[in-house]
Protein backbone atom coordinates (compact mmCIF):
# COMPACT_ATOMS: atom_id res chain seq x y z
CA UNK A 1 0.00 0.00 0.00
CA UNK A 2 1.43 3.39 -0.95
CA UNK A 3 0.93 6.25 1.48
CA UNK A 4 0.52 9.64 -0.24
CA UNK A 5 3.24 12.14 0.60
CA UNK A 6 2.27 15.19 -1.40
CA UNK A 7 0.98 17.19 1.59
CA UNK A 8 -2.49 17.45 0.05
CA UNK A 9 -3.92 14.20 1.42
CA UNK A 10 -5.24 13.81 4.94
CA UNK A 11 -5.58 10.34 6.34
CA UNK A 12 -5.18 8.07 9.34
CA UNK A 13 -2.96 5.02 9.08
CA UNK A 14 -3.70 1.77 10.91
CA UNK A 15 -1.25 -1.07 11.42
CA UNK A 16 -1.25 -4.58 12.77
CA UNK A 17 1.50 -6.47 14.47
CA UNK A 18 3.00 -9.46 12.71
CA UNK A 19 5.41 -11.99 14.18
CA UNK A 20 7.94 -13.78 12.02
CA UNK A 21 10.71 -15.91 13.57
CA UNK A 22 10.50 -14.01 16.89
CA UNK A 23 10.73 -10.66 15.12
CA UNK A 24 7.88 -8.28 15.75
CA UNK A 25 7.20 -5.82 12.96
CA UNK A 26 4.47 -3.36 12.12
CA UNK A 27 2.65 -3.60 8.82
CA UNK A 28 0.37 -0.95 7.37
CA UNK A 29 -2.95 -2.63 6.74
CA UNK A 30 -5.46 0.18 6.20
CA UNK A 31 -5.72 3.87 5.46
CA UNK A 32 -8.69 6.16 6.07
CA UNK A 33 -8.62 9.19 3.77
CA UNK A 34 -10.10 12.60 4.56
CA UNK A 35 -9.16 13.98 1.13
CA UNK A 36 -12.81 14.38 0.18
CA UNK A 37 -16.18 13.46 1.65
CA UNK A 38 -16.58 10.24 -0.33
CA UNK A 39 -15.52 8.19 2.73
CA UNK A 40 -17.98 9.98 5.01
CA UNK A 41 -21.09 7.80 5.30
CA UNK A 42 -23.23 10.09 7.46
CA UNK A 43 -23.26 13.70 8.64
CA UNK A 44 -25.27 15.95 10.95
CA UNK A 45 -24.29 18.89 13.16
CA UNK A 46 -24.05 16.39 16.05
CA UNK A 47 -22.22 13.48 14.40
CA UNK A 48 -20.24 12.38 11.37
CA UNK A 49 -19.08 8.89 10.44
CA UNK A 50 -16.17 8.06 8.11
CA UNK A 51 -15.66 4.50 6.82
CA UNK A 52 -12.98 2.97 4.64
CA UNK A 53 -10.92 -0.25 4.58
CA UNK A 54 -12.61 -1.76 7.65
CA UNK A 55 -11.99 1.44 9.66
CA UNK A 56 -14.85 3.41 11.18
CA UNK A 57 -14.23 6.84 12.70
CA UNK A 58 -17.19 8.44 14.48
CA UNK A 59 -17.03 12.08 15.58
CA UNK A 60 -19.74 13.08 18.11
CA UNK A 61 -20.25 16.71 19.14
CA UNK A 62 -20.57 15.77 22.83
CA UNK A 63 -19.87 18.91 24.94
CA UNK A 64 -18.16 20.91 22.19
CA UNK A 65 -19.51 24.42 21.67
CA UNK A 66 -18.87 23.97 17.93
CA UNK A 67 -21.06 21.83 15.68
CA UNK A 68 -19.41 18.88 13.95
CA UNK A 69 -17.49 20.34 11.00
CA UNK A 70 -18.69 19.75 7.46
CA UNK A 71 -15.16 19.61 6.05
CA UNK A 72 -12.76 17.35 4.20
CA UNK A 73 -9.21 18.05 3.05
CA UNK A 74 -8.77 18.28 6.03
CA UNK A 75 -11.50 16.86 8.22
CA UNK A 76 -11.85 18.93 11.39
CA UNK A 77 -12.38 17.59 14.90
CA UNK A 78 -13.05 20.15 17.62
CA UNK A 79 -12.16 20.42 21.31
CA UNK A 80 -14.56 18.54 23.63
CA UNK A 81 -15.97 16.44 20.80
CA UNK A 82 -15.63 12.67 21.00
CA UNK A 83 -13.76 10.54 18.46
CA UNK A 84 -14.35 6.78 18.38
CA UNK A 85 -12.22 4.62 16.08
CA UNK A 86 -12.93 0.98 15.36
CA UNK A 87 -10.96 -1.39 13.18
CA UNK A 88 -11.34 -5.06 12.29
CA UNK A 89 -8.05 -5.95 14.01
CA UNK A 90 -5.99 -4.69 16.93
CA UNK A 91 -4.88 -1.10 16.52
CA UNK A 92 -1.22 -0.60 17.36
CA UNK A 93 -0.89 2.96 16.13
CA UNK A 94 -2.91 5.47 14.20
CA UNK A 95 -0.94 8.55 13.27
CA UNK A 96 -2.89 11.37 11.68
CA UNK A 97 -0.90 12.82 8.81
CA UNK A 98 -1.57 16.42 7.89
CA UNK A 99 -0.11 19.60 6.56
CA UNK A 100 -0.91 22.99 7.99
CA UNK A 101 -2.08 25.65 5.59
CA UNK A 102 -1.24 29.17 6.69
CA UNK A 103 -3.05 32.18 5.30
CA UNK A 104 -0.52 34.78 4.25
Question: How does pLDDT run along the chain (104 residues), one tens digit per residue?
Answer: 344 444 445 555 554 444 444 444 556 667 888 888 999 999 999 999 999 988 899 999 999 999 999 998 878 888 899 999 888 877 766 666 555 444 44
CA geometry: angle 9, 13, 87, nearest 5 deg: 130
Residue 54 to residue 89: CA distance in whole angstroms: 9
Check: CB of residue 11 under 8 Å from CB of residue 1: no
Residue 59 to residue 66: CA distance in whole angstroms: 12
Instruction: Report pTM.
Output: 0.69
Check: CB of residue 64 under 8 Å from CB of residue 80: yes
Amino acid sequence: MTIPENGKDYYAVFAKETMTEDIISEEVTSVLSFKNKSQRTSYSENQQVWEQNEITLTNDKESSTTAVGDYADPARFYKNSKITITFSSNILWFPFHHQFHLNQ
